[in-house]
Amino acid sequence: MDALGAKVIRKTRLVTAVSEIFRNGLIYGGGALVLIHCHNATRTVWIDCCDDGPGIEDMALALSDGYTSGSGLGRGLGGAKRLADAFEVLSEPGIGTQVRLAGRA
Ligand SMILES: Nc1ncnc2c1ncn2[C@@H]1O[C@H](COP(=O)(O)OP(=O)(O)O)[C@@H](O)[C@H]1O
Ligand SMILES: [Mg+2]
Protein backbone atom coordinates (compact mmCIF):
# COMPACT_ATOMS: atom_id res chain seq x y z
CA MET A 1 0.00 0.00 0.00
CA ASP A 2 2.99 2.29 0.47
CA ALA A 3 3.60 2.06 -3.25
CA LEU A 4 0.01 3.24 -3.76
CA GLY A 5 0.55 6.21 -1.44
CA ALA A 6 -2.01 5.07 1.14
CA LYS A 7 -2.67 7.17 4.24
CA VAL A 8 -1.74 5.62 7.60
CA ILE A 9 -5.37 5.26 8.66
CA ARG A 10 -6.25 3.29 5.54
CA LYS A 11 -3.20 1.04 5.92
CA THR A 12 -4.06 0.43 9.57
CA ARG A 13 -7.63 -0.53 8.69
CA LEU A 14 -6.54 -3.11 6.11
CA VAL A 15 -3.67 -4.52 8.21
CA THR A 16 -6.02 -4.94 11.18
CA ALA A 17 -8.66 -6.67 9.05
CA VAL A 18 -6.13 -8.99 7.41
CA SER A 19 -4.48 -9.92 10.71
CA GLU A 20 -7.88 -10.90 12.18
CA ILE A 21 -8.67 -13.05 9.14
CA PHE A 22 -5.22 -14.63 9.04
CA ARG A 23 -5.38 -15.39 12.76
CA ASN A 24 -8.71 -17.15 12.19
CA GLY A 25 -7.14 -19.15 9.38
CA LEU A 26 -4.36 -20.26 11.71
CA ILE A 27 -6.53 -20.98 14.77
CA TYR A 28 -9.71 -22.38 13.20
CA GLY A 29 -8.48 -23.40 9.76
CA GLY A 30 -5.26 -25.07 10.86
CA GLY A 31 -3.13 -22.79 8.68
CA ALA A 32 -3.85 -20.40 5.85
CA LEU A 33 -2.52 -19.41 2.46
CA VAL A 34 -2.55 -15.67 1.77
CA LEU A 35 -2.47 -14.15 -1.72
CA ILE A 36 -2.03 -10.41 -2.24
CA HIS A 37 -2.94 -8.61 -5.44
CA CYS A 38 -2.02 -4.97 -5.87
CA HIS A 39 -4.12 -3.13 -8.47
CA ASN A 40 -2.41 0.11 -9.40
CA ALA A 41 -5.17 1.40 -11.66
CA THR A 42 -7.77 1.35 -8.86
CA ARG A 43 -5.22 1.89 -6.04
CA THR A 44 -6.65 -1.16 -4.33
CA VAL A 45 -5.05 -4.11 -2.56
CA TRP A 46 -7.00 -7.38 -2.72
CA ILE A 47 -6.22 -10.17 -0.29
CA ASP A 48 -7.36 -13.78 -0.34
CA CYS A 49 -6.91 -15.89 2.78
CA CYS A 50 -7.68 -19.58 2.24
CA ASP A 51 -7.65 -22.60 4.50
CA ASP A 52 -8.71 -26.24 4.27
CA GLY A 53 -10.08 -26.40 7.80
CA PRO A 54 -13.56 -27.43 9.00
CA GLY A 55 -15.39 -24.49 7.39
CA ILE A 56 -18.10 -22.29 8.91
CA GLU A 57 -21.55 -23.89 9.47
CA ASP A 58 -23.51 -20.76 10.34
CA MET A 59 -22.12 -17.68 8.60
CA ALA A 60 -24.58 -15.19 10.13
CA LEU A 61 -23.66 -16.40 13.60
CA ALA A 62 -19.91 -16.33 12.85
CA LEU A 63 -20.21 -12.72 11.61
CA SER A 64 -22.22 -11.52 14.59
CA ASP A 65 -20.36 -9.50 17.19
CA GLY A 66 -19.43 -11.41 20.30
CA TYR A 67 -19.81 -14.94 18.91
CA THR A 68 -16.79 -17.22 19.30
CA SER A 69 -16.54 -21.00 19.15
CA GLY A 70 -13.15 -20.71 20.82
CA SER A 71 -11.77 -18.39 23.45
CA GLY A 72 -11.60 -15.16 21.45
CA LEU A 73 -13.66 -12.00 21.70
CA GLY A 74 -15.77 -12.90 18.69
CA ARG A 75 -15.22 -9.57 17.00
CA GLY A 76 -12.68 -10.53 14.31
CA LEU A 77 -14.81 -11.60 11.37
CA GLY A 78 -17.48 -8.89 11.73
CA GLY A 79 -14.84 -6.29 12.54
CA ALA A 80 -12.81 -7.19 9.44
CA LYS A 81 -15.95 -6.87 7.31
CA ARG A 82 -16.53 -3.35 8.64
CA LEU A 83 -12.89 -2.31 8.18
CA ALA A 84 -12.48 -3.59 4.62
CA ASP A 85 -13.70 -1.76 1.51
CA ALA A 86 -14.84 -5.09 0.06
CA PHE A 87 -15.40 -8.32 1.93
CA GLU A 88 -16.64 -11.79 1.04
CA VAL A 89 -16.46 -15.16 2.76
CA LEU A 90 -16.85 -18.46 0.94
CA SER A 91 -17.01 -21.41 3.27
CA GLU A 92 -18.12 -25.00 2.99
CA PRO A 93 -18.12 -27.43 5.91
CA GLY A 94 -15.61 -30.16 5.19
CA ILE A 95 -13.84 -28.17 2.47
CA GLY A 96 -12.57 -24.96 4.01
CA THR A 97 -12.87 -21.22 4.06
CA GLN A 98 -11.80 -18.43 1.77
CA VAL A 99 -12.02 -14.79 2.81
CA ARG A 100 -11.46 -12.12 0.17
CA LEU A 101 -11.08 -8.52 1.21
CA ALA A 102 -9.92 -5.27 -0.29
CA GLY A 103 -8.60 -1.95 0.90
CA ARG A 104 -8.33 1.20 -1.19
CA ALA A 105 -5.32 3.46 -0.76
N1 LIG B 1 -11.24 -19.80 8.93
C2 LIG B 1 -12.21 -20.25 9.74
N3 LIG B 1 -12.51 -21.58 9.76
C4 LIG B 1 -13.51 -22.07 10.57
N5 LIG B 1 -14.23 -21.29 11.41
C6 LIG B 1 -13.96 -19.96 11.44
C7 LIG B 1 -12.95 -19.38 10.62
N8 LIG B 1 -12.93 -18.05 10.85
C9 LIG B 1 -13.88 -17.81 11.76
N10 LIG B 1 -14.50 -18.96 12.13
C11 LIG B 1 -15.61 -19.11 13.10
O12 LIG B 1 -16.20 -17.82 13.28
C13 LIG B 1 -16.15 -17.48 14.67
C14 LIG B 1 -16.05 -15.97 14.84
O15 LIG B 1 -14.77 -15.51 14.41
P16 LIG B 1 -14.19 -14.18 15.05
O17 LIG B 1 -15.23 -13.11 14.94
O18 LIG B 1 -12.86 -13.88 14.44
O19 LIG B 1 -14.04 -14.53 16.59
P20 LIG B 1 -12.89 -15.29 17.43
O21 LIG B 1 -11.67 -15.40 16.56
O22 LIG B 1 -12.68 -14.42 18.61
O23 LIG B 1 -13.46 -16.64 17.75
C24 LIG B 1 -15.00 -18.27 15.24
O25 LIG B 1 -15.11 -18.46 16.63
C26 LIG B 1 -15.12 -19.58 14.46
O27 LIG B 1 -16.14 -20.40 14.99
MG1 LIG C 1 -10.91 -14.18 15.17
Confidence check: pLDDT of 6 > 90: no
20 alpha carbon – ligand 2 mean position (Å): 5
Task: Report, as an integer, the average pLDDT of 51-71.
Answer: 97
Nearest alpha-carbon partner for 99 in 9, 12, 36: 36
Confidence check: pLDDT of 2 > 90: no
pLDDT at 13: 96
Query: Is the distance from the beta carbon of residue 79 to the nearest atom of ligand 1 less than 6 Å?
Result: no
- Which residues, in sequence order, are bridge partners of residue 89? 99
Report field, pTM of the whole predicted structure over 0.75 = yes
Confidence check: pLDDT of 1 > 90: no
Query: Is the distance from the beta carbon of residue 102 to the nearest atom of ligand 1 less than 6 Å?
Result: no
pLDDT in tens, 65-104: 999 999 999 999 999 999 999 999 999 999 999 999 999 9
Domains, the chain, in order of start with CATH, read: 8-104 (3.30.565.10)
pLDDT in tens, 12-42: 999 999 999 999 999 999 999 999 999 999 9
Q: Which ligand is nearest to the CA of 26?
A: 1
Q: Which ligand is nearest to the CA of 56?
A: 1
- Which residues, in sequence order, are bridge partners of residue 47? 36, 101
The secondary element (H helix, E strand) that includes residue 20 is helix 8-27
Confidence check: pLDDT of 3 > 90: no
Q: Buried b vs exposed e over 20-34: b needs ≥16 C-beta within 10 Å?
A: bbbebbebbbeebee
pLDDT at 4: 82
